[in-house]
Amino acid sequence: QAWGKLLEPKPDDLQLGVYAMAIAHGFGDGTADLAKDRTLAVGQAEYWCLAAGAKGVLPFASMRLDKVRSKIDTIVRGMLAGEFDRDPDCTGACATFGQ
């Protein structure tokens, strides 16, 4: 099932991590919370899979925002350097652009 990974999100899930960072920045003391590589003290992020009638849950306290931030920094550095290499495991639309 395509949604299988969404039902068990990893602590460094990029999408949920970005949302958690935004919540901490907008509604919490973002600087203090993010400095500890955590977001809000309570709550969770969720993926809702309506087709399966299920959801994946990732508590804020278990998120690894240091890893999420590292992914973001790596992507930004690559964009600024003009590095747009295709992932070697690509089997989707990105295969259209070749190596």
Q: What pLDDT is recorded for position 51?
A: 82
Instruction: Say which residue, 35 or 85, is predicted with more confidence.
Output: 85
Over residues 54-69, the mean pLDDT reads 91
Q: What pLDDT is recorded for position 29?
A: 55
**SS3 assignment for the chain:** CCCHHHHCCCCCCHHHHHHHHHHHHHHCCHHHHHHCCCCCCCCEEEEEECCCCEEEEEEHHHCCHHHHHHHHHHHHHHHHCCCCCCCCCCCCHHHHHCC
pLDDT at 23 over 70: yes
- pLDDT digit string, tens, across residues 29-54: 555 545 454 446 678 999 998 888 89
